[in-house]
Structure 1
Amino acid sequence: MGDKSTTKPAQNSPYVNTDDNVVNFMSDNPLNRLSHQRKDSTWLATTMAKESTRFVLFSNLHPVCIPAESRAHPAKASPSKQQHLLTVTHENIKSYLEEHEPVVVFLGISSQNTSPQGDSGKRSNSTQESSPAWFAVDATAMSLDQLKQFDSRVVLLAVYPGMMRIEPTDAAVYAQARALLAWHDRYRFCATCGCIATVEDAGYKRRCTNDDCRSLQGAHNTCYPRVDPTVIMAVSSVDQSRLLLGRGQKFPRSMWSCLAGFIEPGESIEDACRREVKEESGVCVGQVKYHSSQTWPMPSSLMIGCLAEALTSDITVDKTELDDARWFCREEVQQMMQRRHPQGLYLPPKQAIAHQLVLQWLKTANL
């Protein structure tokens, strides 16, 4: 990445980042969620039983995947390469659904010419009635051997870095499904009174079984899936020539990234950026500009990417938050982006919004 032109990804890249068009990994969901249909139990039951309906499976929140075959050399597919979400039909899992009554979440109806999975190359002008519906199923009660009966190549991907190997066409569907299943896994009981909460609205609501519970009166976020807003910032130095990066306590060795943190109640995006940078690095931030966002289903964050300008340069690292933080010049950042830094330092992969924020900084940084 020795010149400006090489910092710009190809236009057909699934991780497009240009000044006027940003599509981050796990974005651009191809499904129409049809939220108005979630309360219609008859429609849901009929839709689930259709031959065209597809189910994606998760075991202990790990997606059940199969290797994405190379179009040129399909026989060379291996678990080390990109992965597709395995999809099965209602007939395949009917007995499992009846026996275990697992959590099942309606994801949506295919609304684009490209489906979110393995047959993504097929084009269709289908209507809503003929478009396949998609559901996510908690298949934790299935053993790996049982899952391999669907496809002998089945693998269970770890959340990170495993999810980075999911095909871009499947990534947004994965994020939607995992975030919802993770919420159900953590909120089986009412957060207001502690009674059992049952699943409603095709997986988008839980209802307390205690008729006297306050959560049944008015709107309460204890009944609906959580989304936790998180800011992540590419902080430029006062003279715009350097970039502030940090190392989290649990980061892989030699990896550096943008600073990030949860937005607190009653806090704006801009204020959260300034507070987090000040707390973690001691650097004061002035102007903050929104760049793009990325869902991050671990378990259900929304990464709000921003570009920020520093007002000060001195760094004082909060060791309870970071292992280290420092300023990097443009040349070093380019080396890290290409994984040729003399000290072996590197950045998160291109699927991460941090990578895209750094990419944007490289386009605008002063030489």
Structure 2
Amino acid sequence: MTQTADIAAPRLGLTQIPLARGFVTVAASTIVLVILCLIFAPSAVSYGGLAGSLPFAAVIAIVGLGQMLVVQQGGFDLSLAGGVSLSVVMVTHYPSGDNAQLLPAVMIAFSLAIAAGLANGFLVGVMRLNAIVATIGMNALLYGVVFAVSGGVPRTTTPLLAQIAGGKTLGIPHSVFFALAILALVTFVMKKTAAGRRFEVIGANPLAAHAAGLRVRLYQAMAYVCAQLHYCVAGIMIAGITREPTAFQGDALLLPSVAVVVLAGTSLLGGRGFPVTTVIAAFFLNLLSQFALSVGVPFSAQTIIQALALVFGIGVYSIQWRRQNTIKEKSKMEDTDNA
């Protein structure tokens, strides 16, 4: 019994390494970046710089959490751009500057987000279509609605929405509070409820989950619905932060949403998600963009920076994964020798 416990203990420790390693990697990278900003680009971490950049970091965090839910099920949601843009258009064009019409516009935006999520979930989770193909088609459909509503012409946001989403309390942008509230909700549901644990189990091994009697297709479909709700909230935040948002606001968020999920350590093959690390990665990626702008890197190179961050995340966790396999193989050989 003692030998069995001694052998099992190291294995338990090894299974906990990826979570700690992912958090430490992102947190350490963020601290190093802050130090570099203090030395070479102080304006990026000044109060004025953070006050201007934190709202957009919060938006990236929100869409990143939504994309994380889909990636946990082994998929990708490329309809993010259309979902965000549609909510932006609905809460700006429908009210037409009238505060009284803002609530109906928000309700319509959420209704359309649920409908888009159900469509994606049905195509991917039930019909078993390829996630990339299905969500690209949905993205085109969403942009069709965007053009039908807006005609591609931007419109000024309502004063009430600008106050709610773009205002500040105690010097902190309201969008940051929204992002933290969503983070707390996602973390609680994913880590503290039975449904959340089933969700992660299904993402890690759908076949075993199905054999255990779990409703695999339902959970996979609901991942897309929850993701679209995240995109809708992000679009509403953008409409309040930006005085006159365009109909293409979601285009710039697709790559960052995937980058922060990968940087946080969520496997592209599905499985466990790391909400807190994803939010930290969103702050890191946004600060990295601000640092690059402050040192003279042109704005056109921002996509390249985000792509490099994505490649960095994939590379780091690929190396870690191989190291984990090597350690496990050595552990198995030692157990065999002891036996």
- Normalising TM by the smaller chain, what interval? under 0.3
Bigger Rg, which one:
1
Q: How high is the TM-score relative to the length of structure 1? A: 0.23
Structure ranking higher on relative contact order (CA contacts 8 Å, 6+ apart) = 2
TM-score by length of 2: 0.25
More strand per residue: 1 or 2?
1
